[in-house]
Structure 1
């Protein structure tokens, strides 16, 4: 493979005008390729050396090349590249460049300028994992969004949690900074998804339930919340990561292992935890008491189910 072929392979067919000149193409040859519809102009000064729709990686490379030296995919674009958020078709690609460099945003491309130094990583270049997580969280509109990003970070890049916290401590003007640090602490404690975080906050803490052991390794998988002392396991199924067949198999292995230990497994989804947290709390409390817990849950508010029902609650399901 020669240098030109290697360049096209690495950049998924996207090249700059300067790169074309450096490899011996003249303006006339470039114009002829465009006129013959064998190539296409993606962005002024950026060409794609094939016809037809542009794949995601080609679009990302075109964006980085347009932004120039030192540029990196960032924000939601880098978030999808690192797996910190689900892949989806973006209305606009995001890139970050160091100040005082200047590059213009245009339709389909948002250029951010950063005073804080950063080192582009990967191919195409992205902001690093910790920097990407912080940028995503700075733009989050809810605690659920924060928990979702940080949960994926903890699952896939646990070694980056300390670096992420350090970057946030340096950003004294970051929006929702205190919320970020609080959610990050919960994630570090084992709440590795938005659903798991809501269970911790809205079910467990809000109703005075004992805190379970999180992410306990069992039979090659992990239990979301385990109360060994009270022989109770709680699984929170968002189905965000695994396909249905894989998920069903892992659930079976995990639940069978729990059954062998005489543990009861309770399973809840997003709707249960978000729409009926008080009912879930009542059922969990009833199960824990059956396993030996000698305390009582507390109502989360005057209108809470636990404030209205006699305890033990006879039918929490």
Structure 2
């Protein structure tokens, strides 16, 4: 009966040790395999049927093969928690660093000295896994494409699977997290800090790149007489006005995007030129934003002083 309950919980995937603890001898287990009722996809794991493994069984196989303390991690754990994201076919499993885990096709075993066991929470069903905040941060850390890495964190928040605040609590828990400062800054944008960030950072970057600083937080009235705030604006020598709108990650939400487009149309109708960038781009690739401002005609301080 004990084996039946365990097999039901683990989708018919058990370790040989679990079978021994349930009083199955090695000879009995080998007999079931020899007669074709069971099979062994890994040396220490037995499946109590002979068909192909489904997704749930593959997850259990990875964790049980990796041994004590193993959990689903990285993209596998994030997708398991509900994230809509292309994760490929490889299953991520995290294990404590120590004895090496034998390779298994279709699996990536992340051995670590980080004490991740305190992050793990009970799950209603399936193998143990990292909470989505830790799983997503570790997956983002491993991604060589920083834009895609940041997009992963943004997706978790936008899909309402976690919050920027919960990410902020998780970041200090992960020792030596790669890109941790960048992740924290961008998650601050998601939480609503992009407006103040734009005011401070654009002015600082203009000074660093020798551009005329913008007028901060220009106020306009829309057709209904309501006050609208633009991030940064410059009055060019020819009288044109250039506006730089800095979008926080939260602007990808449909309603916010719709409102932003309406606001941008109103500004353009008034004859101003609108450039847009994301707060992520402003943090990671400021030189491109500054170069575009120069190309549109924003004066450099040196050129302006010569003209005067």
TM-score (norm 1): 0.61
Give the unaligned 5+ runs of structure 1.
Answer: 192-203, 228-232, 235-263, 265-283, 309-317
What is the aligned counterpart of 1:155 among 155, 158, 165?
A: 158
Unpaired stretches in structure 2, ≥5 consecutive residues: 195-230, 233-241, 277-288, 298-308
Note the 1:8-87 alignment, pairs <5 A: 8-84=7-83, 86=85
Instruction: Report SS of the residue matched to 1:223.
Output: helix
SS in 1 for 2:89: coil
Counterpart in the other structure of 2:99:
102
8 Å contact 2:189–2:249 — kept in the other structure?
no
Of the structure 1 ranges 114-123 and 3-12, higher mean CA displacement relative to structure 2 is found in 114-123
Q: SS where residue 15 of structure 1 aligns? A: strand
Instruction: Give me the TM-score of the superposition, normalised by structure 2.
Output: 0.62
- Please give the secondary structure, in 1, of the residue aligned with 2:245: coil
Q: Deviations over 1:192-218 (max 9, x none)?
A: xxxxxxxxxxxx98960275995799x
- SS at 2:95's partner residue? strand
Cα gap change, 1:9/1:83 in structure 2, threshold over 3 Å: closer, same or farther? same
Secondary structure at the aligned position of 1:209 is classed as: strand
**Correspondence 1:177 to 2:180:** yes
Q: Which residue of structure 1 lines up, in the alignment, with residue 255 of structure 2?
A: 223
1:130 & 1:213 partners in 2: Cα distance? 17
Aligned residues: 234
1:129 aligns with 2:139: no
Rg larger in 1 or in 2? 2
> Does the residue aligned with 2:117 lie in a helix, a strand or coil?
coil
CA distance in 2: counterparts of 1:138 and 1:298, whole angstroms:
31
1:131 Cα offset (Å): 1.3
Cα displacement (A) at 1:295? 5.2
CA RMSD of aligned residues (A): 3.7
In the other structure, the counterpart of 1:188 is: 191
